[in-house]
Every structure is written in structure tokens, then in C-alpha cells.
Structure 1
Amino acid sequence: MELPPRPSAHTRRRRSVRRRRGWRLVPLLLVLAGLPALAQPSVPFLPADAVAPTSEDADLAALRERLAALEADEAAVHTEVEQLRERRERVEDSLHQRVRALYRMRRAGMLPVAGGFEAMLSHLGRMERLERMVSGDVRSVAFLDRRATALAGDLADKERELETGRRELAQLEERQRLTVASARTSDLFADLVDPDARLPMGGGGYGLTLRDPEPRVRFDAQRGRLRLPVAAGGTLRDAAREDGSGLEFMPPPGSRVEVVSEGQVAFARPYGVYGNMVVVDHGEGFFTVYAGLARLDVTAGEPVVLGQTLGAVGTAPLYFEVRRGTRSLDPHEWVGI
């Protein structure tokens, strides 16, 4: 068998260098393998339902803290005012007694002269001391009156500041409540619009995989020609609920509420400030909302035809909205008024 040719001296030297370099890398690789993996700084774990505080939350917390401090100051001023009142009563009572005593001593005139010179000096000394005490009581009453006047002004300032702060707090709390309610209502309509959203069936409320119904007349073709949801007489006015604007109808109690166009009931149950509410899906993302009903006559998933009764009103007004997805539309453009 013929052996392969022997490598040249130059080739043997190059192979030896490569083998030495390779062995030099082995310790380095072993060291690197033992080091902890280099990674970005770990992120603290947050619960899935944790909500980062907003600037509105911070404003509310700061305002509540300021109001608490003002209320503590107000309570302290009230306490001092009460203490001043009690002290003034004591000083004024003492003043009256001393003035009467001084009057009697002065009225006695020089009668103590009959008792001799020492009796007269003692009488004059008592009168002088009593006059000093009366003057001190008068000064005390004047000081207490000035202090009471200053505290009354301070108290009035704090009460005005508290009243302003409480109004501001009420506005912030209402704004936060409306923000939460608006987000909740938007989530509701976002779920109704989502064709893959499966909503719970409990309590006859809502709960079906929604699909666009196939109306005989497209809802958007009825702009300006929708019938009113109540046929009975009554008054009408613009209104709003949370994130939407609509109309309020005030027909006689017991009046029937009718659907303004055919569709499918997507929601039928009480809902927050809306009260008993029915939402009808008219397809292509259009919904009509009927809220404030005293009675519900339909259930979720039920198809409805034009003019079908959804329920009845009581003493509260009927609130009506037209929506496209999560956005409320101007109802005047749809009912032609």
C-alpha cells in the first residue's frame, strides 16, 4: 500500500501553531462557563392586577393630606377659642366682683378715719391694691378680646380654605369616578363590538358570542329617520351618561319603550348609573342604548324587530344613545330633531 506523502516542514509548523492556540482557549472557555450569565438588571415582580398610581391619584392623596392638616388646625383653633371664652368669663366675673368691692370702699369715704391713722392707711392700701387688680382685669379682658378677634379671623380663613379644598376634592373624586366609569363603559362596548368576546350569561344580563345581525335595512341608511323610542307624549332634553351623550325622554310613567330599528339584544340588565339598560346591536358596529327602564321585557341574545317593546319607564327619565363601536354619536342627527 502506498503511503501518503509526508507533509512539508512548513505545513507541520502551521498545524502545530493551530493546535497550541486551540489548547490555550480551553481554560478560558472553562472559566467563562463557570461565570453567571450576563443579563439585564432584573425587573421587580409585579402582580398581574397591579395598577400604577396616576397623577390624579397623587393629587387626591396630597389634597386629602392637606385637608386633614387644615382640619387639625381648625380643631386646635376651636379648642383655643373655647378656652379663651372660659377664661374671659372667669376674668369678667372677677372684674365685676372687684368693681363692686371698690365701689363700696369708695362709698365708705373717710369712715375709717375714726379708727385712727393706721386704719386709714390700711383702707387706702386696700383700695389701691383693688384698683390695680381692677386695672389688670380690664387689661386681661381687652387682651382676650383681641386674641379672640384674631382667632375668629384665622378660623374664618381656615374655614374658607377648607371649603375650597373640599370642593376641589369633590371635583377630583367625581372626575376620578367618571374616568373609572367611562373606562368601564368603554370596556363594555369594546366587548360588545368584539366578535370573539364571550360574555357571561348569568342573571339574564348579557352573554353570547356576538355576530353582526343581517338587517333588512342598513342602520346607517336610517340616519335622520329613526323613530323615537317612546310614542307617548312628554318632554325631551339633551343629557349625558359617563362617556356618552344622548337624549332624555320624560313620558308618563308606565309608557312602553320600543326599539328604533331591528337588531339583536346584546345587553339587558342593570348597569351602574344607567340603571336597567338594554343595548341593541344593529350590525356593522351600530348600537342603540335604552337606560333607566323600570321594567325589562327582553333578554340578551333575543332578536328584535322595529317597534318591539323592550320595557317600560317609571318615574325616572328614559336615556337614549346611538353608538358606533365605543363612540357615542349625536342623537339629533339620527332621530331628526
Structure 2
Amino acid sequence: MARSTVPFAIFACAALIAVGAFVPMGIAQRDVGVMEPDEAQAQLERATREGQRAEARAERLAREAENASEAADKTAREIASMAARIQRAEADIAAARARYSLAQTDRAALSDRLSKRQEPLVRLTGALQTTARRPLSLSALQPGSLKDLVYVRAVLDSAVPQIRERTAALRGELEEGRRLERRAASALENLRLKEQELQGKREELASLEAQQRLASRDARSSATRESERALALAEEARDLDGLMGDIDAAAGLRRELAALSGPVMRPANLGGGSASTVPTTPDPTPSATPTTASVPPRDFQLPVQGRTIAGFGEERDSGLRSTGVSLAPVAGAQVVSPASGRVAFAGPYRGYGSIVIIEHPGGWTSLVTGLARINAEVGDEVIGGSPLGVAATEEPSITIELRRDGEAVNPLQFLR
């Protein structure tokens, strides 16, 4: 009996030590945070989807930059491509955090299951060790009949195979624990690498933006006056809706002026010509008058990636309906222009943080609020994906509003 129980006792002791030692270990702990499993799974799926879209935008913009003939257009698309790659890196970081959280949740559940098995295993190990240390010859001298000894030995002979079979599942779970340990460590290392990659891309974007500013500085003689007019509008406006209305009105006036016909040419002969030879101003045609917006901005996109925290038309704390969509991105996330257009306002606005208002062709206007830093200036011509700034580092929230001839519309219906 001693020969059969000693190896198993040794195995049981080793299993007990493994169970007792199976706690989160081997990973340099970081303040990554563990989410609820459903939340982590949803974030993983969303981040994977957003990362794929950002990568597709980056590749498209890079191709457009290669084919651009003008230097300014080429630089703008290179910058937008880099901003898209930053958003891809941010999505990868969010996915790595979700994977780490899921691995930690699985490891905690496994540790809990093993801890529940620890107590009966302790008792079993103690009994087997006691039996293994008692030689068979001494067992024959202990009180009781030889019949009892034979009976106990028979019971043990039949129990040991079953114990081995049942502990096979335990050995499998211990191996699963080691696999989960490796998975969590891999996710944490991937997170570290993605954060380094993101920092490098942000530095590269800052360098590109600095070059663009230097190249366009001489061409921005009227930018200061235009920015001052925009700030004056912001001071006079009672609220954000009033500011948007004033900017829409100014944009409408510019469209009307642009649609006017050119000056009438002076007649060659003022005195001798007949009335029929004097050119007259042509009647305005329907194509010369401003048209109502019908087609949304091409390649419209959300300015930032993140979880939706307030949808279009949702009732706010004030009792009013939301006129935009609010997103919760990662801390310090890259914010980009939702479509091509012209920056009509860029700066702080009371109660909304720093905001950017962009005029798009055809009577469309977009508003982005909640930025912590703005990289755009009034008068800038931007393309879809051009960097506008970054989100806050604490409790970031970015809101996008889209208006058609001053009327708020749901921006999600125009996403491609």
C-alpha cells in the first residue's frame, strides 16, 4: 500500500501547492482597470471595428496624398492620414485593454473555483501522507483485526484510481490558469507597445502640422481679422444655438454673394449705339441662386471614436432634446474634421469647452464640442479627417452636431 500511495501523495501535495499559489502573478501590475465582462466584450468588438475603419481611411488618404498635384493638398492629406493612423492606434489600445480585462476576469473566476477545491484537497493530502508514512508491518500490529486492514486496503485501492481521474480535471484547470496568465501578459505587453506607437505618431503629426503652419503663414494675412469677427459673434450670441445661427446666416450671405452674376461690361459706343446694342444684365437663372442643401458632405465621419453616451433627440438633464451625438472616447483622443469645409469658429465657448464650427458646401454646418485643445484656426480649409485637436484626459466627452440650412439632423444617418 505504501508503494502505491507515496507517489500519489507527492502529486497531491504538488497540486495543493499549485492551487494555493494560483493568484494573479508574474505580470507587472498596471492601473489598467478591469471592466465587466459584457462591457469588455462590447469594447473589444467596437474597438476592432473602429480600428479597421481608421486603417481604411488612413490608406485611402495616403493614396490621395500620393496622387495630389498641389503641395498644400498633398500635405493636408498626409496630415489627415496620420490622424487616422493615430485613431487606429487608439482603437488598438482600447482593444488591448479589453483583452486584458477579459483575461483577468477569466483568471479570477478560475482562481475562485480552485480555492473552493483547496479545503477537501488539504484533507485528502493529509490522509494520504499519514498512510504513506506508516509501514505495512506496523499497520498489522495496530489494534483491530486483519479483516479490517484488508477492508481498508481494498477501499483505498478502489478509491485511488477515482481520485486520479477526478484530479485530471484539476490538472487541466491549472494548465488553463497558466494559459490565461500568458494571455494576460501578452495583452499587457501589446498595450505597452501600442502606447509607445501612439506617442510616436502624435509626435510625427505635430511635426507635420508645424510644417504646414509655416508654409501657410504668409497666405493668412486676413486670418486674424476673421478670427476676431468670429470671437465677437461668440460674445454677442446668447447661447450656442444663437452662435450657430449667426454663422449660418454669414455663410448664407457669402453663398448669395458668390452666386451673383459678374459686372456688366461697359458698351463700346455710349452715344451712337442703338438701344438694342446696349448689353443688359441677364436674368438670374435657377442655377445662379443659392440652392437648398440636399446632398450631405461627402465621406462624412464621426470626429472621434468611442462609446455613444447620448444619442440624437435624447432628452437631456435640462429637459431639452439633444441636437447631436455625444461620444466617450479614450483620454486625450485624436479629434478630426467630420468632412471637408472651412473653419468658421475655433475657440472656447462658455459651458462647452473648446469648440470648432465648420462650414461645408451646400449649406451644411457641423459643430464639434468638448475639445481640450484645438489645432485648427478660423479660415482653415480642412478635409475630412483633418486633425482639429484632442479630447480631455479626464472624463472626455465629444459632441458632434450636423445642421442642414440651420436645421439639426441626425449625423449617424450619413455615416458610410
Rg larger in structure: 1
Higher strand content, 1 or 2: 1
TM-score by length of 1: 0.36
Structure showing greater relative contact order (alpha-carbon pairs closer than 8 Å, 6 or more residues apart): 2
Higher helix content, 1 or 2: 2
